[in-house]
A = this chain, B = another copy of it.
Amino acid sequence: MTDKKKLTLKDIAKALNLSVSTVSRALKAHPDIANETIELVKKYAEDNHYVPNLMAVNFRKSRTYNLGLIVPEIVHHFFSTVISGAICEANGQGYNILVTQSNDILNVEEKASQIMLNGSVDGLLISISNETTTGEHLQAFLDEGKPVVQFDKITDYISCPKVIVDDFEGAYQATKHLIDQGYTRIAHIRGRTDVKNACDRYEGYLKALKDAGMPIREDLVKCCTMITEDEGYNFTSELMQNDNPPDAIFCITDLVAFGSLKYLKENGYVVPNQIGLMGFSNWMISQTTTPTMSTVNQYGYEMGRAATKLLLQLIKDQDLDRADTTILKTELIIRESSMKQK
């Protein structure tokens, strides 16, 4: 049982008949202080379990050693890997991470960042909500000299470093893979037109078709708003009712692909031989479906680490003024759902 009241510099000073400032400096082994004194103070502090009062130190330095982290949703495989990476990097550099979620609601995101800005954190890591466009609440951070790093879902209205995956290239590779497998009528169930990732993936899809000299058919593109299993299911139903239905579907994310798979299996389509399927994001579920789902891995953990590393750089070197975009490679993961037997 330690004492109820924590030891302060003052207590040590009194006990050792020194001044507070000497004690303070001794503990930091300041060159001005005699070695004996340093030893003495350090020993006393050690023996009596002196722990500096972080709140006082932080207040003095106006630093919190906390980083804010806002994601749309915590219960989401990809984001949880990002959080994990961020925490790893932050803890390694002596920072804590303060996590919150916006549930893709702008209002919630604004409130959360407002609270964090009011002195809870030294900087912000954020993946914006679907509703966020301009982002004055992020600008407010910059205006107060607190750096911001955006990741995954970003807005270009704010001038700060960004870390994203190469959605375009990932989607291009995914689509190209389907083409290479011999599929010829490739549909795409995409995400919202006002969300950058979704657009990039769509562009990657288009480019792959073009490069292969395939026609672009608007009737083979469906647009999710909520990115749910149900949307995958229902859009697949619509697609298959087409006069000239697709023989492969590239979905914006694994969950949607799962919904798609469900519809196809329920209706007697054989995946991958009749219909090829690709997801995106490499959720854990993509390994547990039958057939297993081909997908694109996004390296969330690395993204979390990279974004945090950037933010800490900006915090430690206030003069640094970066606003570049780090683009992480994706990885095509080929599983059963796209392996047409030739």
Contacts and interface: CB of A to CB of B under 8 A. Distances in A.
Contacts of A120: 54, 65-66, 96
Contact of A87 (B55, B74, B81): B74
Given A55-B62, A59-B56, A285-B284, A84 B75 contact: yes
Interface bin, chain A: 35 or more
Contact of A74 (B73, B83, B140, B290): B83
Each complex incorporates copies of this chain amounting to 2
Given A53-B119, A74-B84, A98-B97, A1 B66 contact: no
A330 interface: no
Interface in A269-287: 283-285, 287
A208 B99 CA distance: 41
Interface of A: 1-2, 4, 6, 51-56, 58-59, 62, 64-66, 73-77, 80-81, 83-84, 87, 91, 96-101, 112, 115-116, 118-120, 140, 143-145, 258, 265, 283-285, 287-290
Given A283-B284, A289-B289, 16 more contacts: A51-B118, A54-B119, A54-B120, A55-B64, A58-B119, A65-B120, A75-B77, A75-B80, A77-B284, A87-B99, A87-B100, A91-B100, A91-B115, A96-B98, A288-B289, A290-B290
